[in-house]
Amino acid sequence: MRPAFVLVGLALVSGVSLTASTNAPAVRAAGPEEPVVTHHSINVDGAALDYAATAGFLALKDGAGKPQANIFFVAYTKEGESDLSRRPVTFAFNGGPGASSVWLHLGALGPKRVVLAGDGTELPKAYRLVDNDQTWLGFTDLVFVDPIGTGYSRAADGVDAKQFFTPTKDIEVAARFIRLYVTRYKRWLSPKFVAGESYGTTRAAGLANWLQSDMGMNLNGVMLLSSALSFQAFSYDDDNDIAFALALPSFAAAAAYHQRTSVDLGAVERWTLNDYLPALAKGDTLPPAERQRVIDQLAKYTGLSPDYLDTSRLHVSAPRFTKELLRSEQRTIGLMDSRVVGVDVTSRGEYPHFDPAFFLVTGPFVATLNDYLRCDLDFESSVPYEFLSREVTGAWKWLDRGQGYVYVADDLAEAMARDEHFHVFAAAGEYDLTTPYFGQQYTFDHMGLDPERRGNLIFRVYPAGHQIYTDMASLKKLHDDVAAFVRDTAVPPPAKASPHHSGATP
């Protein structure tokens, strides 16, 4: 795993600060003796789905039994399941690092979801939750986990939380939580999955390998939303041509959406690999005539002016693109969802002051989550729920396993090589400029998988942004695709034979 200096997803990207929670001092939250359990019912596909919601903490301890951290979680389990060995369970993590699980919880997977406007491209006038008829609870139990320093999760009294703020320790803590949960709630024989979004996919890839090699626990699969397995694919450093090239198809999709151009994304992808990337690799030795051809083609695909592309030396980062595309209208577009348009604070400068797409999902999700925990799940806490912790993102130490960019695709490949039954489902948003879809595809195409394992990886692209589920049509398609993936992957053990006869059950 090679660390980087670029935070992904729900934190900072290329030095552009996004909205985060308040700079509250570090607090300690001792969990209650027993989690709070409530019972609910929703209607899914015309039938009632009864479930129990469990909100509380699991205490992680060191080898001497000394408390290290209290990890907050919310779990949903379908009621009436007599054989848990046949019922899948999925552990869900958002990204950051420093993000709580609120977005996956109330945006896509959980039994309730936040109502957004304009298919996720407009700020709703009122904030409210509704029953989520696309919940994953129909085909898997769900456990939403807040890493240390996020949500209500805190290090134990007298324990320095910063020791946990590295990629390796983060994965270790998540693995210990999963082992403790499946032990306490008797889920060792259940089909097990991990779902992650953004940096949560970095965590999920590492978890698959860690659980196998260190804890003897084999996952059935992982679901990766907006993958961040190779940070080189979206780190816009001057000497990292590949990130600038791999972002181009997403720029073209955004430009077409805003009617600045009309392109065939397949043609853009081919030109990116066959012409644009080789041209960038030539650097200052690129012949003038070839350079002009590249500029003209880039202008056609991106909707940016040839002069701007010339002065940018053919390199345009995602944050700069969000500022430049609609600059003449004093508008910016979203980094997490390029369909979203924001009012620019000033037309000066190279970068936007905020991401309008992330702003749309901050207030609605934070407000409804705080109300939901107290009013629906009967969970009370005197500490603030840290939806996105600046303390965590600011203290994160990337250099815990060597120099370079964070890279966990090798962890995922190793887990796939060991276990022929382990599968991967990966989803990307066409309008995601945070982790561009072509960069994700490029990473998957360079994992060096054995041909027999290649079929265990499914990659889908949806007409949505980084948070795929904010678009209602994509939310439904994602639900259906993941449901099929889990059904095909969570192979239950054979039914026990009747004591009155042996052999196959009719």
Q: What's the DSSP call for residue 469?
A: G
Residue with tokens 């019922």: 87
Summarised one tens digit per residue, pLDDT across range 448-493 is: 999 999 999 999 999 999 999 999 999 999 999 999 999 999 875 4
Task: Please give the Cα distance from 162 to 26 (Å, whole number).
Answer: 11
Are 336 and 467 in contact by the 8 Å Cβ rule? The answer is yes
Cα–Cα dist 393/19, whole Å = 12
CA dihedral 79, 82, 88, 94 (to 10 degrees): 30
pLDDT at 504: 36
Name the pTM for this structure.
0.91
Cite the beta strand spans of 26-98 per DSSP E: 36-44, 47-61, 67-78, 89-93
Paired sense of beta strands 221-227 and 331-333, if any: unpaired
Tokens of 326: 């609609």
The C-alpha atoms of residue 294 and residue 274 are separated, in whole angstroms, by: 12
| pLDDT value, residue 48 | 95
Instruction: Say how far apart CA 59 and CA 35 lie, in whole Å.
Output: 12
Token digits of residue 73: 């979680």
Residues of the chain with pLDDT under 50: 1-28, 493, 497-506
Nearest-10 crossing angle of helices 288-302, 248-257:
40
d(CA 165, CA 26): 14
pLDDT in tens, 188-209: 999 999 999 999 999 999 999 9
Q: How far apart are CA 440 and CA 426, in angstroms?
A: 9
Q: How far apart are CA 410 and CA 196, in angstroms?
A: 17
Q: Are 170 and 164 in contact (CB under 8 A)?
A: yes
Residue 314 CA to residue 295 CA, distance in Å, equals 7
Integer Rg of the chain from CA: 23
Q: Which residues pair with 75 in a beta bridge?
A: 54, 143
Secondary structure (3-state) at 231: helix
d(CA 465, CA 355) in angstroms, rounded, equals: 13
Looking at residue 351, its pLDDT comes to 81
Question: In angstroms, rounded to a whole number, what is the distance separating the alpha carbons of residues 459 and 225?
Answer: 10
Which class is domain 36-232+362-489? alpha beta
Q: Please tell me the predicted confidence (pLDDT) of residue 399.
A: 75
Cα separation, 321 vs 309, in Å, equals: 11
- What the block records as the tokens of 193 is 């999955």
Per-domain boundaries in the chain: 36-232+362-489, 239-356
